[in-house]
Amino acid sequence: MTIPHDNFVKIVEVGPRDGLQNEKTPLTLEQRKALIVDLMHTGLTSIEVGSCVSAKWVPQMANSDQLFADLPQDPNIGFSLLTPNLKGFESALAVGCQEVAVFTAASESFTRKNINCSIDESFEKFADVLAAAKANHVKVRGYVSCIVDCPYEGAIDPKQVAQVTQRLYDMGCYEVSLGETIGTATPDRVKKVWEACLAELNSKVLAGHFHNTYGMAIANIYQSLEQGIRVFDSSIAGLGGCPYAKGASGNVSTEDLYYLLSKMGFETGIHLDALMQASRNISQVLNRTNPSNYANAYWQTQCVS
């Protein structure tokens, strides 16, 4: 595995989870597996496989535990599953999952819509998950949604984001990913969020998760890099959205993130050819034009030369 150093940026690929959870027609388990196997050839070292949530709520993520169990093993790649409660954690543990993620928000209304409880109640559920994870040596990542705007409440106070982030970290999450869920943020507002969080926590335990609804994700990531953040979530072919954030589009594409980082001299461990192949394959499966500017420029250049 590549050893992280100051110039290394870790990319957490969330396409198979965040990307596919919003598809109108759920992909089959074979199609979901094919995407992950493609991603395994790209040099990515962290891949979110799916979610152990209610299939009534998110049918696209049904049987994520089965998918996990069916993946080829690779000691260089960390696979993870989202687990909002103990029931989800137990499903993940039963298939040998070594990393899970719990998720809440800096907005009460969003938390209620997303996981059917208040922020405080979400922490009660996470306490059970964290205790079981500790007993079984499973790593836990935390997510905070709505770090800038909430689709139901509007602007969110950065202090509230910092508080929820700190709570997740104090509870035992090794890293907390800050989700700009609806993609409305601009770099000035993102800066204020990082300033609030960095007053409490080290940048090494924080990650950025930017959706690209208004085309601001790369600008927001640049701002985050300036603030010292070195872990970012992204989605191959810019897939995704959240079922409980209407109109929110996909994450920043892994392809555009790769371009930004490599041109700025950061190492990512990504193998470009394999990344572009994975991106082309999933776009074909979904019969969709890839929103990544870099992917489109790449294929045009390939055709010309």
Which residues make up the interface to ligand HMG (CB under 6 A)?
18, 21, 51-54, 57-58, 84-85, 87-88, 103, 114-116, 143, 145, 179, 181, 209, 211, 242-243
State which residue, 84 or 276, has the beta carbon closest to Mg ion: 84
- Catalog residues that contact Mg ion under the rule CB under 5 A: 18
173 is a catalytic site residue: no
Give the Cα separation of 38 and 47 in Å (integer): 11
State which residue, 213 or 281, has the beta carbon closest to Mg ion: 213
**Least spacing, CB of residue 9 vs ligand HMG, in Å:** 19
Detail the DSSP E strand segments found in 70-174.
78-82, 99-105, 139-145, 149-150, 154-155
Query: 32 and 25 in contact (C-beta within 8 Å)?
Result: no
**Least spacing, CB of residue 14 vs Mg ion, in Å:** 7
Q: For 18, how many CA atoms within 13 A lie in the half-sphere containing its CB?
A: 36
121 conformational bin, left if phi > 0, alpha if psi -120 to 50, beta if neither: alpha
List, in order, residues 6 or more apart from 225 with CB less than 8 Å away.
9, 264, 266
Q: Of 97, 146, 173, 242, which one is the catalytic site residue? A: 242
CB under 5 to 8 A by kind: which of ligand HMG, Mg ion, none does 85 bind? Answer: ligand HMG
State which residue, 22 or 292, has the beta carbon closest to ligand HMG: 22
**Least spacing, CB of residue 182 vs Mg ion, in Å:** 10
Whole-angstrom CA distances from 192 to 161, 169, 223 are 10, 19, 10
State which residue, 46 or 298, has the beta carbon closest to ligand HMG: 46
**Least spacing, CB of residue 122 vs Mg ion, in Å:** 16
Question: Which phi and psi (to 5°) does residue 18 adopt?
Answer: -60, -40
Q: Which residues are catalytic?
A: 242
